[in-house]
């Protein structure tokens, strides 16, 4: 048998490097996080050949004392934690003290630093070998520069797994973008092969933050994003979420930060998917840049070597907070908000002003009747004065019916889809105002409604729009009337694990509130004694199993409500006006007014858009007017 021996420091560092240093992007992540922890407000990043040849990070942080420089390259040496209690509330991005030691074991590393404003500084060098580090004078202003050359030069097996320079640079660029979104108060400058790539200025105002988000995520994201800022019970969620119509084929525009740390967490992903499930088209992914702030002692960041995963002390409350915040924020978006953002952006573009120079906020108090305490702030682009300023002025202005006519139209539309369900109150319309979706002009092929508003032509898919309206009313009626239940003549027995049976007992009240009566009949057996009437044809056993799985993993589940909503959605689809149904002008106008008053009216139950705008500018371009 082989004898047990201590690993050499070099081999131990290289093994540790396998966890910390996967590719050049891993190195950049560690170096930038060290700079941010050091209080830097400006970061200069130079890259050559995708980072394989050179990575240099220069900051203006606090610097490292001369006597501490040799320790900086030692394993488990750090200035960020000193005792066990510090791990209970980690407030820094890095804390293990392995990064520089691991990097120096697989690359040629030079570290120059100074702690004063003078040019005096000191340098320490390591080249992947067992050797005493040598400290020598080197001029440097306050701050630190770390230079990493020839990554994996002494570990050929690792180097051959690196991809092309372009691929490695793409991964590295993504890391820089994620960190740039985490710290708006820090300036970032990135150069690749001596060519300037990005130069992002620091800024703390919402305008400056939106400018950086647009630079990192693209202007289209900001044009379609809703700003939120919600605080409750020691949790704060703020940032930007894209409207469902701005969905992605891949989950490539999703940035979530917990206390400034970029994470990819299953609980967070599940909460976001749940918030979008009623409005997102099948197979598409939402886009967002969100920041969760909470007491550091309630979240454990020391659960994974890359620190991408975290563990919350109270999973259920965090999940519910994220879900409910996004769910209500998306529901509050109305057509007038979408049109206001678009008009604001077009006006800014026309005058060569930054497209994110105008913003406003709408504060909504007490959303969801007691569910939120405090304020929810949802931001929208500021509206500008309506009216077309193109090459010609149309002499026609849409007529605005008086209040009596509008009410008459609503009554006609109400008779069209007569239902015992409670109707939502419709907005008052003043005769001098043009509603966001305008007034109906005609119906096309029995499918689309054509209407004119202040900006141009509105096209509405009448079946999709009415389906959403009917669906929302059904959900409201279902919620107001409570869940009707029915007892089973013969209780259904389910064989489960002991853990699942314990979960069913623990969450008995939740099941009961959703119309289910579960009873434990043994260590690994539960009985279903009562179910919601609306689910009498559903596969109840599988539904209960799926809910138990969610409760065990996330501490919460929306599966039952989602299943109920699917059935209501199917009923709404069958109860909505069908294609080829001829509507009168009053009926079409009443439908437009209903859309303006209905939550989530921008998408049908399946996530498809219900309406779009063709502005007068866009119509002019189609006919080459003024060219």
> Taken in order 427, 429, 433, 439, is the CA torsion positive or negative?
positive
Kindly state the tokens that stand for 283.
């197979």
Tell me: pLDDT of 362 over 70. no
The string over 67-84, giving b where at least 16 C-beta atoms fall within 10 Å of a residue's C-beta and e elsewhere, is eebebbbbbeebbbbeee
Q: Residue 561 — very low, low, confident or very high, per pLDDT cuts 50/70/90? A: confident
> 496 or 302: which carries more pLDDT confidence?
496
Q: Residue 423 — very low, low, confident or very high, per pLDDT cuts 50/70/90? A: very low
Q: What is the pLDDT of residues 282-299, one digit of tens each?
A: 889 999 999 999 998 899
Query: In angstroms, rounded to a whole number, what is the distance separating the alpha carbons of residues 520 and 539?
Result: 20
pLDDT at 142: 93
Query: In angstroms, rounded to a whole number, what is the distance separating the alpha carbons of residues 511 and 556?
Result: 11
Window from 2-6, 176-180, 300-304, 437-441 with minimum mean pLDDT: 300-304
State the DSSP code for 248: B
- CB 550, CB 559: distance < 8 Å: yes
Q: What is the pLDDT of residues 179-224, one digit of tens each?
A: 999 999 999 999 999 999 999 999 989 999 999 999 999 999 998 8
Q: What is the mean pLDDT of the chain?
A: 81
Q: What is the pLDDT of residues 585-612, one digit of tens each?
A: 999 999 999 999 999 999 888 788 899 9
Question: Residue 288's beta-bridge partner residues?
Answer: 241, 254
Q: Which residues contact 357 (CB under 8 A, 6 or more apart)?
A: 207, 348
Q: Residue 173 — very low, low, confident or very high, per pLDDT cuts 50/70/90? A: very high
pLDDT at 393: 29
Q: Which of 174-183, 333-342, 350-359, 482-491 has the highest mean pLDDT?
A: 174-183
pLDDT at 492: 93
How many alpha carbons lie under 13 Å from residue 331 in its C-beta half-sphere?
17
- CB 77, CB 98: distance < 8 Å: no
Q: How far is CA 340 from the centre of its chain?
A: 22
Tell me: pLDDT of 426 over 80. no
Helix then strand count (H, E) for the chain reads: 19, 24
| Three-state SS at 285 | strand
| Three-state SS at 362 | strand
Query: In angstroms, rounded to a whole number, what is the distance separating the alpha carbons of residues 442 and 339?
Result: 21
3-class SS letters over 19-56: HHCCCHHHHHHHHHHHHHHCCCCEEEEEEEHHHCCEEE
Tell me: pLDDT of 512 over 70. yes
Kindly state the tokens that stand for 400.
């605005």
Question: Residue 531's beta-bridge partner residues?
Answer: 486
- CB 311, CB 299: distance < 8 Å: yes
Query: In angstroms, rounded to a whole number, what is the distance separating the alpha carbons of residues 259 and 461?
Result: 43
> 534 or 303: which carries more pLDDT confidence?
534
Tell me: pLDDT of 178 over 90. yes
**Percent of the chain surpassing pLDDT 70:** 80
Query: In angstroms, rounded to a whole number, what is the distance separating the alpha carbons of residues 268 and 330?
Result: 17
Kindly state the tokens that stand for 123.
């340098």
pLDDT at 481: 72
- CB 121, CB 112: distance < 8 Å: yes
The pair phi, psi for residue 47, each rounded to 5°, is -130, 140
pLDDT at 110: 94
Mean pLDDT over residues 238-264, rounded?
A: 92
> 127 or 33: which carries more pLDDT confidence?
33
Query: In angstroms, rounded to a whole number, what is the distance separating the alpha carbons of residues 576 and 358?
Result: 39
pLDDT at 86: 67
Q: What is the pLDDT of residues 445-493, one digit of tens each?
A: 889 999 999 899 999 999 999 989 988 888 887 777 777 889 998 999 9
> Taken in order 103, 106, 107, 113, is the CA torsion positive or negative?
positive
How many alpha carbons lie under 13 Å from residue 476 in its C-beta half-sphere?
15
Kindly state the tokens that stand for 284.
């598409």
Query: In angstroms, rounded to a whole number, what is the distance separating the alpha carbons of residues 140 and 124?
Result: 13
Question: Residue 256's beta-bridge partner residues?
Answer: 290
Q: What is the pLDDT of residues 104-162, one digit of tens each?
A: 888 999 999 999 877 789 999 988 765 567 889 999 999 999 999 999 998 888 899 99
Query: In angstroms, rounded to a whole number, what is the distance separating the alpha carbons of residues 244 and 590?
Result: 25
Q: Which structural domains are found in the chain, ordered by start?
A: 9-200 (3.30.565.10), 206-348 (3.30.230.10), 391-627 (3.30.1370.100)
DSSP H or E run through 176:
helix 165-182
Q: Strands, E, within 345-438: which ranges?
A: 360-365, 375-380
Query: In angstroms, rounded to a whole number, what is the distance separating the alpha carbons of residues 567 and 536?
Result: 11
- CB 573, CB 605: distance < 8 Å: yes
What is the pTM (predicted TM-score) of this model? 0.75
Q: Residue 16 — very low, low, confident or very high, per pLDDT cuts 50/70/90? A: low
The 8 Å CB, 24+ separation contacts for 424-433 are 424/472, 424/473, 424/476, 424/594, 424/597, 424/598, 425/597, 426/593, 426/594, 426/597, 427/593, 427/596, 427/597, 428/403, 429/400, 429/403, 429/593, 430/403, 431/400, 431/401, 431/402, 431/403, 432/400, 433/400
Q: What is the pLDDT of residues 40-88, one digit of tens each?
A: 999 999 999 999 999 999 999 999 988 888 888 887 777 776 676 667 7
Mean pLDDT over residues 9-24, rounded?
A: 75
The string over 114-128, giving b where at least 16 C-beta atoms fall within 10 Å of a residue's C-beta and e elsewhere, is bbeeeeebbbbbbeb
Count Cβ atoms below 10 Å from residue 171 Cβ, excluding itself. Answer: 18
pLDDT at 411: 59
Tell me: pLDDT of 170 over 80. yes
pLDDT at 82: 65
């Amino acid at each position: 048998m082989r004898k047990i021996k201590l690993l050499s420091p070099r081999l131990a560092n290289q093994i540790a490097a396998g966890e910390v240093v996967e590719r050049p992007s891993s190195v950049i992540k560690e170096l930038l996080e060290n700079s941010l922890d050091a209080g830097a407000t400006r970061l200069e990043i130079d890259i050559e050949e995708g980072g394989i040849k050179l990575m240099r990070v220069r900051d203006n942080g606090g610097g490292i004392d001369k006597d501490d420089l040799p320790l900086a390259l030692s394993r488990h040496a750090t200035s960020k934690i000193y005792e066990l209690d510090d791990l209970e509330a980690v407030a820094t991005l890095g804390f293990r003290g392995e990064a520089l030691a691991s990097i120096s074991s697989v690359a040629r590393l030079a570290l120059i630093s100074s702690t004063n404003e003078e040019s005096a500084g000191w340098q320490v060098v390591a080249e992947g070998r067992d050797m005493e580090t040598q400290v020598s004078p080197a001029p440097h202003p306050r701050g630190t520069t770390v230079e990493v050359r020839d990554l994996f030069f002494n570990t050929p097996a690792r180097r051959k797994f690196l991809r092309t320079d372009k691929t490695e640079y793409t991964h590295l660029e993504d890391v820089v973008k994620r960190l740039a979104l985490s710290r708006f108060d820090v300036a970032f400058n990135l150069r690749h092969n001596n060519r300037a790539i990005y130069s992002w200025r620091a800024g703390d105002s919402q305008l400056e933050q939106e400018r950086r988000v647009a630079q990192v995520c693209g202007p289209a994201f900001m044009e379609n994003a809703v700003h939120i800022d919600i605080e409750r019970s020691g949790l704060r969620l703020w940032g930007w979420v894209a409207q469902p119509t701005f969905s992605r084929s891949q989950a490539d525009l999703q940035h979530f930060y917990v206390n400034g740390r970029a994470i990819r967490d299953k609980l967070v992903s599940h909460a976001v998917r749940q918030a979008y499930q009623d409005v997102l088209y099948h197979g598409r992914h939402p886009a967002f840049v969100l920041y969760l702030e909470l007491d550091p002692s309630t979240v454990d960041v020391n659960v994974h070597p890359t620190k991408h995963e975290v563990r919350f002390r109270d999973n259920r409350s965090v999940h519910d907070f994220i879900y409910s915040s996004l769910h209500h924020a998306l529901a509050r978006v109305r057509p007038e908000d979408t049109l206001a953002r678009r008009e604001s952006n077009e006006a800014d573009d026309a005058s060569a002003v930054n497209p994110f120079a105008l913003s406003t906020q709408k504060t909504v108090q007490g959303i969801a009747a007691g569910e939120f305490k405090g304020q929810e702030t949802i931001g929208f682009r500021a509206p500008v004065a309506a009216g077309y300023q193109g090459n010609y002025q149309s002499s026609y202005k849409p007529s605005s019916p008086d209040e009596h006519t509008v009410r008459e139209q609503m009554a006609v539309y109400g008779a069209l889809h007569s239902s015992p369900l409670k109707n939502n109150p419709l907005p008052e319309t003043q005769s001098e105002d043009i509603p966001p979706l305008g007034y109906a002009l005609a119906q096309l092929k029995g499918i689309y409604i054509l209407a004119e508003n202040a900006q141009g032509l509105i096209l509405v898919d009448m079946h999709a729009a009415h389906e959403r309206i009917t669906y929302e009313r059904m959900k409201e009626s279902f919620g107001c009337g409570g869940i009707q239940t029915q007892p089973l003549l013969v209780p259904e027995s389910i064989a489960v694990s002991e853990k699942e049976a314990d979960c069913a007992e623990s969450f008995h009240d939740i099941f009961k509130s959703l119309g289910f009566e579960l009873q434990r009949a043994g260590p690994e057996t539960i009985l279903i004694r009562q179910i919601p009437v609306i689910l009498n044809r559903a596969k109840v056993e599988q539904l209960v199993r799926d809910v138990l799985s969610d409760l065990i993993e996330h501490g919460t589940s929306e599966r039952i409500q989602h299943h109920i909503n699917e059935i209501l959605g199917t009923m709404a689809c069958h109860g909505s006006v069908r294609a080829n149904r001829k509507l009168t002008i009053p009926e079409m106008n009443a439908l437009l007014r209903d859309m303006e008053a209905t939550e989530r009216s921008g998408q049908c139950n399946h996530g498809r858009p219900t309406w779009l705008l063709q502005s007068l500018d866009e119509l002019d371009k189609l006919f080459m007017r003024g060219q």
